[in-house]
Every structure is written in C-alpha cells, then in structure tokens.
Amino acid sequence: MDETNLFALPDPLPEVEHFEPLIPDRGILIERIVSVGHATPDGEWYDQERDEWVALLQGEAELEFEAGSMLRMSAGDHVLIPAHAKHRVSRTTSEPPCIWLAVHGTLR
C-alpha cells in the first residue's frame, strides 16, 4: 500500500490548480485539489455532469454560484454541489494554500 499525506504540498507550489486523483475513477472519483491564490477565470463556470461533495481541509476560499449565492469557506467546511449547479471558485488563499478533498459521483 502506498502511504501518502493529504497535507503534503507539491514542491514547488503549482502555478495552476493541482488536481490529484486519489483512487481510480470507477463511478466515484475522489481527488485532492491544491489551490494557491487561484480562482476560476471571470465568466467561466463549472457545469459538472456529477454531484460533487467538497471539503476544504486547509485555507479559506469562496465559491460563487450562477444562481447568485456566494459561499465563504474555512478549513473544515464542506458542501454538496448538485450536478449542473454552475459554480466557480472566486477566491482561494495563498498562505496557507488551500487543500480540498473532492468526491464526484451520484451522491444524492
């Protein structure tokens, strides 16, 4: 078994968001995401085919939804984003970098 640590950061820190699958996607994808001051480009929205449950393990971030709501997140916060709920990451901290745990699948 490979031993890994969710809080270990890539060295050097990534210039773009870093997506790392933790297990093979066989209908459910579990991934770790590292964001270092990253945000979704203005005018772009994620429109995902599957539900996404996401937990922020470290840092602070803001999610914006096309429907008009904003969600401020701190370490330990989590949210279930239904499939096709258009959303974007409007802000992430650089210090500390944001570490996310995301689960994609049919979760509702």
Query: From CA 8, how far away is CA 37, in angstroms rounded?
Result: 17
Could you tell me the pLDDT band of residue 3, with boundaries at 50, 70 and 90?
low
Instruction: Convert the pLDDT of each residue in 52-104 to its tens digit.
Output: 999 999 999 999 999 999 999 999 999 999 999 999 999 999 999 999 999 99
- Give CA torsion, residues 80, 83, 85, 89, to 10 deg: 60
Tokens of 25: 């996607």
Among 15, 29, 42, CA closest to 97: 15
Q: Is the pLDDT of residue 2 over 80?
A: no
Query: From CA 63, how far away is CA 70, in angstroms rounded?
Result: 6
The per-residue pLDDT for 1 is 46
